[in-house]
Structure 1
Amino acid sequence: MRLTLYSTWGCHLCEQAEQLLLQAGLAGAVEIIDIVDDPAAFERYRVHIPVFKVNEQELFWPFDLVQIKQLLAQSAG
């Protein structure tokens, strides 16, 4: 399962999303991509960050711990 958080430096919503992922027990399992460093990600997510992606399924902000767990369960199923 590939876990990705699209984020950028200085984004307080992204920091909140990271804390939720830690609460979900995903510390060290999530690749954090700064959209500034990835032109394709910047084009796709620039006004939507943070975005949590599990494999090909995307969860756009605002999201909560329950939604993260539901997405993980769906992707594992």
Structure 2
Amino acid sequence: MVDFVLYQRDYCHLCDLALAVLAEARVPDFDSVWVDDSEDLESRYGTRVPVLRDLRDGRELDWPFDAAALTNWMAATQDPHGRHSPFRGNDDRRE
């Protein structure tokens, strides 16, 4: 199962740029969903595409983003209290 979905459009230059950033950031497998195929998705994402959604916690990253921002966003984890932390593992900086 994939953890990420990229919402995009056909023939979308920004979506092509987002795909290049995902490759540069070495995003693991993800699904692409075209908002043009659904009225619901069109109303939700129509003016926002491309949008990357983390299926594990529902967070979304709207364009524009670069590889560094994307890497930081992917590394963010949710702690048991529902707060997002940009740190993984046993890091002394964690609150």
Query: Shorter-chain TM-score: which interval?
Result: 0.7 to 0.9
Provide runs of 4+ in structure 1 moved above 4 Å.
none
> Does the aligned pair in 2 maintain the 1:54–1:75 contact within 8 Å?
no
d(CA) in 1 for partners of 2:47, 2:26: 27
2:76 maps to a residue whose letter is Q
- Equivalent residue number for residue 45 of structure 1: 45
The CA RMSD over aligned residues, in Å, is 1.7
> Does the aligned pair in 2 maintain the 1:20–1:65 contact within 8 Å?
yes
Which runs of 5 or more structure 1 residues have no equivalent in the other structure?
none
- Equivalent residue number for residue 60 of structure 1: 62
d(CA) in 2 for partners of 1:64, 1:46: 21
- Equivalent residue number for residue 31 of structure 1: 31
TM-score normalised per structure 1: 0.87
2:24 maps to a residue whose letter is Q
- Equivalent residue number for residue 69 of structure 1: 71
TM-score normalised per structure 2: 0.72
The structure with more helix, counted as a fraction of residues: 1
- Equivalent residue number for residue 21 of structure 1: 22
The percentage of counterpart residues that share the same residue type is 28
Which runs of 5 or more structure 2 residues have no equivalent in the other structure?
79-87, 89-95
Listed one character per residue, the Cα deviations across residues 17-68 of structure 1 (whole Å, up to 9, x for unaligned) are 00110111126x0100000113221110000100011121101111111111
